[in-house]
Amino acid sequence: MVKLLTDEQQEAVDWQESLLLTACPGSGKTRTLIAKLVAEIECVRGTPRSICCITYTNTAVQEIEQRASEQLQAGDERYIYVSTIHSFCLHSILRPFAWLRPDLGGARRILTRDSPDFEAICQYAAAQVNLLQLNQADYEAFESLSVDTNGRIIGVALKNDAVCRAAPYFWARCAQLGYIDFGNIVYGAYLLLREHPGIALSLCARHPWFLIDEFQDTTELQVEMLKLLHATRRSKIFAVGDLYQSIYGFTGARPELVAPFGVHIGARSDLSLSLNFRSSRRIVNHAERLFPRLPPMTAAGSTRDYPVDPILIRGGTVFEAITEHFLPALEAQHIALGDATILAKDWFSLITLARELRDFGTPIVGPGARPYKRSRLFAQLAEQLCGAIVEPTGDTTRQLERALFHTVQDATGQARLGLFGFAGRQVLVRLQREALRLANLGHGAIAWLDAMSQATGDILLRAEYVDRIQSGLFYASVQEMKADMIRQKVDIFNLTIEHLGLFASPTRALRLSTIHYAKGREYSAVAVIGLRTGYFPFKYSDDVIAEKRQFYVAITRAEKLLMYVAERDRWGNAPSPFLGPTGLNVLR
């Protein structure tokens, strides 16, 4: 099914040279990108080439693949290659060409926050510089370590002197244990591209177009890589983004690199998408007060005339603001809980609220909502199996397949791609049948978890996806989940299959999330919390405009209802200056 495009979207798709497209919030950036992806297949069909699309997160990759597949002819999937920047660097550059520079670590496992050795590696590196107690911010700084073209540290880690000093030990320890971190994946790929021009030639022979999503959040390293690709003169670049939505400065993103890059590659840059199909006119007006655009952003979607002004709630606690104002407003406007979100600058400000809302009986998803660690081996598959029992959706099989694949990978260290085929479906049918049988016994979620984790081990052992020792890991991880829940003071005997299923199909629950998580998403109703002086923007912030952009991203997620929450804090701080005369002017 071909989606209709506006004239401005169509003009961008039809442009046959490199293009930097500025797109205001809700202007159909993704729709335009997908239309370009599908349109350019015409020039590669029947060849070994494909159109390469690089986007920011795995979720965005899945969304683009899925939405594109609705418009593709049978067999055309092979002509699109959608990937995150890290996956592109790893699979298209580092691994195939690692033999040119084995020291760059192309053959190593990827180190993520969930890797079993992550904390031990950080602690080892920190100890080398006499940092003996690591806090959350230190782990985050290690996790986001990234470098510029000269290998110098950039981004948030720069503000953490101890982590900067510990970084060489961190990288050396990673190498020793056979890991590579995200920062070095991109840096290693850049070095290979720079030192071996043949690599760029081979990539450009394969991909006549590179489509780049969220270009405002690109780093110097990524810009330099694109320049090296463009220098072959064999590929064109279609980059789409919005400078006002650049919120990844902490990973080294530099929106000021966009314009010079456009000039460098001779890209057209006068085209912009200015119709917002997401938000009501009243919400768009607020966004325009924050960052007036040229041409102005205009509400053009079905919610255009929605008659509710954004609301400011001040004083009281966040919990009171949500339960006494936001939830009743959702009910009055007939907005489902699953269509609404509460946004905060960082996830720890959501933890207490999550606990209070859980006790209040409001179904929620997001940080603090899960009473156990998400990384527990059996957690993801258990949630998906429960979701399939409680509320199967059109996407259930696909999500189950993905969960099963990841669970087997975590248990065995092996990527068993066969799980996405017929053999995987057979295992899934067995798992689902057993999950349903056990749920029908009506003994509650804890008994279900115990029995189902053992059954999963047996089914996967019989299908030869795990060995005998690995088959016991699922039950063991359920014991860890139980311990997590007891620590969180959850009444585990009242936990139901519905509770577990909620995390798999969050359409019935209110989502609590950070603004970064919400980027690229849209909700009928949004409450932005923490709008206090000193906190938003942070009183020691050296980049208030970056925080203003973050606030801009938050308010432009809303379609119909927008609520600002300036809760009371113990220092009696006034509401955020973003709400005052220099910002939205909603303070009286």
Ligand X SMILES: Nc1ncnc2c1ncn2[C@@H]1O[C@H](COP(=O)(O)OP(=O)(O)OP(=O)(O)O)[C@@H](O)[C@H]1O
Peptide bond into 537 cis (omega under 30): yes
The alpha carbon dihedral of 387, 388, 390, 394 has a sign of: positive
Is 522:242 a contact under the CB 8 Å cutoff?
no
Question: Which of residues 236 and 278 has its CB atom nearest to ligand X in the complex?
Answer: 278
Question: Which of residues 31 and 355 has its CB atom nearest to ligand X in the complex?
Answer: 31
Question: Does residue 371 bind ligand X (CB under 6 A)?
Answer: no
Q: Closest separation between CB of residue 52 and ligand X, Å?
A: 19
DSSP state of 268: B
Question: Which of residues 303 and 453 has its CB atom nearest to ligand X in the complex?
Answer: 303
Tell whether residue 28 is among the known ligand binding residues.
yes
Size of the site for ligand X (CB under 6 A): 20
Q: Closest separation between CB of residue 586 and ligand X, Å?
A: 21
The values of phi and psi at residue 111, to 5°, are: -90, 120
Please tell me whether residue 254 adopts helix, strand or coil conformation: coil
Is 98:104 a contact under the CB 8 Å cutoff?
yes
Tell whether residue 29 is among the known ligand binding residues.
yes
Nearest by Cα to 52 from 190, 208, 199, 192: 208
Residues 6+ apart with CB under 8 A from 437: none
Q: Closest separation between CB of residue 304 and ligand X, Å?
A: 11
Per-residue interface string for the shown chain with ligand X, residues 282-321, x marking contact by CB under 6 A = -------------------x--------------------
Question: Which of residues 9 and 83 has its CB atom nearest to ligand X in the complex?
Answer: 9
Question: Would strands 146-147 and 153-154 be described as parallel, antiparallel, or unpaired?
Answer: antiparallel
Q: Closest separation between CB of residue 241 and ligand X, Å?
A: 8
Is 41:76 a contact under the CB 8 Å cutoff?
yes
Question: Does residue 184 bind ligand X (CB under 6 A)?
Answer: no
Q: Closest separation between CB of residue 218 and ligand X, Å?
A: 15
Question: Does residue 27 bind ligand X (CB under 6 A)?
Answer: yes
Tell whether residue 27 is among the known ligand binding residues.
yes
The values of phi and psi at residue 98, to 5°, are: -60, -30
- Binds ligand X by CB under 6 A, chosen from 457, 520, 537, 575: 520
Nearest by Cα to 524 from 331, 388, 246, 235: 331
Question: Does residue 29 bind ligand X (CB under 6 A)?
Answer: yes
Range in contact with ligand X (rule: CB under 6 A) among 27-35, 247-255, 430-438, 564-572: 27-35
Tell whether residue 59 is among the known ligand binding residues.
no
- Binds ligand X by CB under 6 A, chosen from 26, 105, 310, 387: 26
Query: Which residue has the CB atom at the shortest distance from ligand X?
Result: 28
- Binds ligand X by CB under 6 A, chosen from 65, 242, 383, 401: 242
Is 181:166 a contact under the CB 8 Å cutoff?
no
Kind and range of the H or E run holding 23? strand 19-23
Question: Which of residues 7 and 256 has its CB atom nearest to ligand X in the complex?
Answer: 7
Please tell me whether residue 308 adopts helix, strand or coil conformation: coil
Question: Does residue 4 bind ligand X (CB under 6 A)?
Answer: yes
- Binds ligand X by CB under 6 A, chosen from 8, 19, 20, 30: 30
Is 20:212 a contact under the CB 8 Å cutoff?
no
Nearest by Cα to 114 from 345, 406, 332: 406
Q: Closest separation between CB of residue 33 and ligand X, Å?
A: 8
Angle between helix 29-40 and 58-69 (nearest 10): 60
Question: Does residue 246 bind ligand X (CB under 6 A)?
Answer: no
Q: Closest separation between CB of residue 547 and ligand X, Å?
A: 18
Question: Which of residues 25 and 106 has its CB atom nearest to ligand X in the complex?
Answer: 25
Question: Does residue 5 bind ligand X (CB under 6 A)?
Answer: yes
Cα(277)–Cα(300) distance, rounded to whole angstroms? 5
Question: Does residue 457 bind ligand X (CB under 6 A)?
Answer: no
Question: Does residue 278 bind ligand X (CB under 6 A)?
Answer: yes
Q: Closest separation between CB of residue 244 and ligand X, Å?
A: 10
Query: 278-295 b/e with 16+ CB inside 10 Å = b?
Result: bbbbbbbbbbeebbebee
**DSSP string for 95-137:** HHHGGG-GGG-TTSEEP-TTSTTHHHHHHHHHHHTT-----HH
Tell whether residue 26 is among the known ligand binding residues.
yes
Question: Does residue 280 bind ligand X (CB under 6 A)?
Answer: no
Is 407:380 a contact under the CB 8 Å cutoff?
yes
Q: Please report, to the nearest 10 degrees, the dihedral formed by the alpha carbons of residues 276, 281, 284, 288 taken in order.
A: 120
Question: Which of residues 7 and 542 has its CB atom nearest to ligand X in the complex?
Answer: 7
Question: Does residue 2 bind ligand X (CB under 6 A)?
Answer: no
Range in contact with ligand X (rule: CB under 6 A) among 4-12, 55-63, 123-131, 453-461: 4-12
Q: Closest separation between CB of residue 515 and ligand X, Å?
A: 12
Question: Which of residues 499 and 519 has its CB atom nearest to ligand X in the complex?
Answer: 519
Residues 6+ apart with CB under 8 A from 579: 312, 531, 564, 566, 586, 587
Per-residue interface string for the shown chain with ligand X, residues 539-568, x marking contact by CB under 6 A = -----------------x------------
Question: Which of residues 191 and 526 has its CB atom nearest to ligand X in the complex?
Answer: 526
Q: Where is the binding site for ATP, in residues?
A: 23-30
List binding-site positions: 23-30
State the residues that interact with ligand X by CB under 6 A.
4-6, 9, 23, 25-31, 242, 245, 277-278, 301, 520, 522, 556
